[in-house]
Amino acid sequence: MTTLTVSSVQVSTPDTGRRSLLRDTGIVMTRELKPVLRDPFSLLFGMIQPLIFLGLFGPLLAGSMGGSLDGGVWQWFVPAILVMTTLFGTSATGANLLFEFQTGAHERMMVTPLSRSSLLVGRALKEMVPLLGQAVIVIAVMVPFGFDLHLDGAILGLALLAVFGIGLGSFSYALAIAVRKQDWMFWVVQQTFLFPLMILSGMLLPLETGPAWMRVASKVNPLSYLVDAERALFSGDVTSTTVLWGWLAALITVALGLTVGIRTMLRSAT
Amino acid sequence: MISTRELTKDFVLSRTETVHAVRGITLDVEPGELVAVLGPNGAGKTTTLRMLTTLIAPTSGTAKVAGYDVATEPGQVRRQIGYVGQGNGAGHSQRVGDELSGQGVIYGLDRRAARQRAEELLESLELKDLTRRKVSELSGGQRRRLDVAMGLVHAPGLLFLDEPSTGLDPQNRANLWDHILRMREQYSMTIVLTTHYLDEADSMAERVVVVDHGEVIADDTADALKAKLAGDLLTLTVAPGHLQATARLADKVAGAKDVVAEGDRISVRVADGPAALPELIAAAQHAGVPVATAQVHRPTLDDVFLNLTGRSLREADSTGKAAA
């Protein structure tokens, strides 16, 4: 049997006062990032995925409608790829939570004093860290091909994506919690929403040439506003109303997402 | 340390079906106690624990844990308690050391202090060599010890353990208990655990709270429960023809009940078996009855449960409905 010495533990949990949401979010995000950073191979493959899509889909797009797109095909397509990466990353992120639900790790964290919203926000923000890396790589690779970088717009564009990503991530968590007893349902529902949202946002192909009903559908798709705003921002147009609509769509998404997500989480512990 | 009054929890499954998982539990636990909550699956043990740890809100009644109300001051309660759930608290994709020191940071330690604290706990729980291992690569026993370490990071005054040793082989169970008891001594912790292992409640806990159908049906030390609710079982075998005479003698032993004569065997329940056995043998010899064999069975907590409910814990387990 090992003998042991235990230092006196000074746990600084004041009896009064609120915990800092920022600090808690940082803790949750750091925890989520650790396995990613400890596994450089998956990180590397994750980083180059948008490039693969860009390399395979971009030339087709350029060939079929290169001339008709404002500012050239890359100015049109690069922001869309970043939105798509955010969309895939954050909407799938509930799967991690689902797994931690099943193992008991989520329950353990629910018993700690961590603020409830930090458990969602921290997890969703974690998806944004690789996204930043991906954005830098995509932009660096595309600049030689004629992509025009406007730094202020690009930074604002990524901030806008982060806000939207937190909202979407929260929805993804709510979904994970709702289907936790039939976990295969998670991917069924996620895919059912993901593809219509994506196609009806004009992300991959412009909708101007599509039938009228598709254009109407895109008007009620919050993602359309986000995609348009990102295209405007990445072209250096930081003050247009298009950008404003994008922020509005992102803020509504994040407000709804957090409300639904936290509610679902608090009700889940049965 | 804990004080509950008429605590209840209903789960509404549908408009027509409500499960009354906990039906009015009143319980007081003093600082320093080691209490086992024993009962079949679905008795309401885990539901009670989940209310005390703020995971679910009570339907009615009150509970104060470490001085704070679980319903109105859950944040304060969470700061004071440690919790080891049924599952694995450590994320499977995480590294052992990361997860443990991260837990320290959650409770307000700075990163360096948290790392040092994690090292100490890993050392004392014999997990040190696994610090850089992924949690998913640990064995069941190692993972369970890590769960306990996670619950102890902030040196809580009160530790809840929900079926801590379920699924472990006897050796790992004993090993886990060694650690828990040592930690308890070190931190003078109050411990509340649930279990459906009878022998575990029997040998480890100083106080056993028996729960069935969401209610406390007995609450005492294991020895007192056995003496009060079951008693020792004396069994004699005697030569044929002396059965009825022996049964009459057995009936006269102090506190005798449940005398059964069958074949060449007499059994009787008494409060104090070791004292009653020589008395009974002497009486038999005095009456000229040759006694062939004599035995005292100390009762188990299963006998206690059987006496209280009319069913054995084992059969209650298989027929009991799982309610969270």
Tokens representing B72 are: 């109105």
Contact assignment for B186 to A6 by CB distance below 8 Å: yes
Residues of A in contact with B56 (CB under 8 A): 269-270
Q: Which helix (H) or strand (E) holds A187?
A: helix A185-199
Residues of A in contact with B186 (CB under 8 A): 4, 6
Asked whether residue B312 is assigned to any structural domain, the reply reads: no
Does B53 share its domain with B139? yes
Tokens representing B58 are: 């009570």
Query: How far is the CA of A168 from the CAs of A89, A114, A186, B63, in angstroms?
Result: 10, 21, 14, 37
CB contact, 8 Å: B174 with chain A? no
**Which of these, B194, B210, B148, B137, lies nearest to B175 by C-alpha position?**
B148
CB contact, 8 Å: A42 with chain B? no
**CB neighbour class for A188 (10 Å; exposed up to 12, middle 13-18, buried from 19):** exposed
Strand duo B207-212 + B34-38: pairing: parallel
Residue B200 CA to its chain's centroid (Å): 6
Neighbours of B175 (CB within 10 A): 18
CB contact, 8 Å: A148 with chain B? no
Q: Of A9, A102, A112, which is closest to B78 when you measure between CB atoms?
A: A112
CB A77 within 8 A of CB A61: yes
Of A69-83, A115-129, B66-80, which has the strongest mean pLDDT? B66-80
Q: Give percent of chain A with pLDDT exceeding 90.
A: 29
Which residue type, as a one-letter code, is found at position A203? M
CATH number, domain containing residue B183: 3.40.50.300
CB contact, 8 Å: B154 with chain A? yes
Axis-axis angle for helices A241-267, A116-142 (nearest 10): 140
Q: What is the pLDDT of residues A26-68, one digit of tens each?
A: 999 999 999 888 888 878 888 888 888 888 888 888 777 766 6
Whole-angstrom distance, CA of residue A41 vs CA of residue A47:
10
Neighbours of A75 (CB within 10 A): 19
CB contact, 8 Å: B132 with chain A? no
- Range A198-223 average pLDDT: 87
CB A175 within 8 A of CB A94: yes
Does B167 share its domain with B241? no
**Which of these, A235, A247, A236, lies nearest to A77 by C-alpha position?**
A235
Picking from B52, B96, B107 by the largest number of A CB atoms within 10 A of its own CB, the best residue to mutate is B107
Domain boundary among B226, B252, B271: B226
CATH number, domain containing residue B261: 3.30.70.100
Domain boundary among B226, B258, B280: B226
Asked whether residue B6 is assigned to any structural domain, the reply reads: yes
User: Which pLDDT value is given to residue B196?
Assistant: 78
Domain boundary among B226, B259, B281: B226
Does B155 share its domain with B243? no
Q: What is the arrangement of strands in the sheet containing B207-212, beginning at the earlier edge strand?
A: B81-84, B158-162, B190-195, B34-38, B207-212, B215-220
Residues of A in contact with B92 (CB under 8 A): 99, 103, 105
Which residue in B has a C-alpha nearest to residue A33's C-alpha?
A: B94
Q: Evaluate if residue A223 carries a pLDDT over 80.
A: yes
Picking from A111, A181, A266 by the largest number of B CB atoms within 10 A of its own CB, the best residue to mutate is A111
Asked whether residue B197 is assigned to any structural domain, the reply reads: yes
Query: Chain B 73-92, CB below 8 Å of chain A: which residues?
Result: 75-76, 78-79, 81, 83, 85-92
Does B222 share its domain with B251? no
Query: Chain B 271-310, CB below 8 Å of chain A: which residues?
Result: none
- Chain A to chain B Cβ contacts (< 8 Å): 109
CB contact, 8 Å: B193 with chain A? no
Does B132 share its domain with B268? no
Does B214 share its domain with B258? no
Partner residues linked to A266 by β-bridges: none
Asked whether residue B309 is assigned to any structural domain, the reply reads: no
CB contact, 8 Å: A30 with chain B? yes
Does B182 share its domain with B235? no
CA distance B46 to chain A (A): 10
Name residues of chain B where pLDDT drops below 50.
318-324
Residues of B in contact with A11 (CB under 8 A): 79, 107-109, 154-155
Whole-angstrom distance, CA of residue A35 vs CA of residue B135:
11
Tokens representing A253 are: 């998404």
User: Which pLDDT value is given to residue A208?
Assistant: 80
Asked whether residue B307 is assigned to any structural domain, the reply reads: no
Query: How far is the CA of B234 from the CAs of B260, B288, B289, in angstroms?
Result: 10, 19, 16
Does B94 share its domain with B142? yes
Query: 3-state class of B51 per DSSP?
Result: helix
Residues of A in contact with B114 (CB under 8 A): none
User: Which pLDDT value is given to residue A38?
Assistant: 84
Neighbours of B158 (CB within 10 A): 22
Asked whether residue B19 is assigned to any structural domain, the reply reads: yes
Does B216 share its domain with B108? yes
Q: Output the CA torsion A195→A178→A265→A129 (10° steps).
A: -30
Q: What is the pLDDT of residues A154-164, one digit of tens each?
A: 999 999 999 99
CB contact, 8 Å: B188 with chain A? no
Q: Evaluate if residue A13 carries a pLDDT over 60.
A: no
Which residue type, as a one-letter code, is found at position B44? G
Q: Of A9, A27, A35, which is closest to B106 when you measure between CB atoms?
A: A27
Q: Which helix (H) or strand (E) holds B84?
A: strand B81-84
Residues of A in contact with B78 (CB under 8 A): 111-113
Cα angle at A131 between A127 and A137, to 5 degrees? 155
Which residue type, as a one-letter code, is found at position A152? D
A114 pLDDT band, cuts 50/70/90, is: very high
CB A214 within 8 A of CB A230: no
Cβ-Cβ contacts under 8 Å for B256 (sequence gap 6 or more): B250, B268, B269, B270, B276
Asked whether residue B310 is assigned to any structural domain, the reply reads: no
Asked whether residue B181 is assigned to any structural domain, the reply reads: yes
| pTM to 2 decimal places | 0.82
User: Which pLDDT value is given to residue A70?
Assistant: 63
Contact assignment for A9 to B109 by CB distance below 8 Å: yes
Q: Which helix (H) or strand (E) holds B208?
A: strand B207-212
Query: Chain A 123-142, CB below 8 Å of chain B: which residues?
Result: none
Does B71 share its domain with B101? yes
Whole-angstrom distance, CA of residue B265 vs CA of residue B246:
10
Residues of B in contact with A110 (CB under 8 A): 55
Contact assignment for A5 to B53 by CB distance below 8 Å: no
Does B175 share its domain with B255? no
Where in the sequence is the domain holding B280, given as residue range(s)?
Answer: 231-298
Q: Which helix (H) or strand (E) holds B215?
A: strand B215-220
Does B271 share its domain with B192? no
Whole-angstrom distance, CA of residue B215 vs CA of residue B217:
6
Tokens 């059964």 sit at which residue? B260
**Which of these, A50, A103, A167, lies nearest to B140 by C-alpha position?**
A103
A113 pLDDT band, cuts 50/70/90, is: very high
Instruction: Give the N- to C-terminal CA distance of chain B in Å, as an integer.
Output: 25
- Count of structural domains within chain B: 2
Residues of A in contact with B146 (CB under 8 A): none
Q: What is the pLDDT of residues B246-282, one digit of tens each?
A: 888 888 887 788 888 888 888 888 888 888 888 888 8
Q: Evaluate if residue A186 carries a pLDDT over 50.
A: yes
CB contact, 8 Å: B251 with chain A? no
**Which of these, B64, B142, B130, lies nearest to B96 by C-alpha position?**
B130
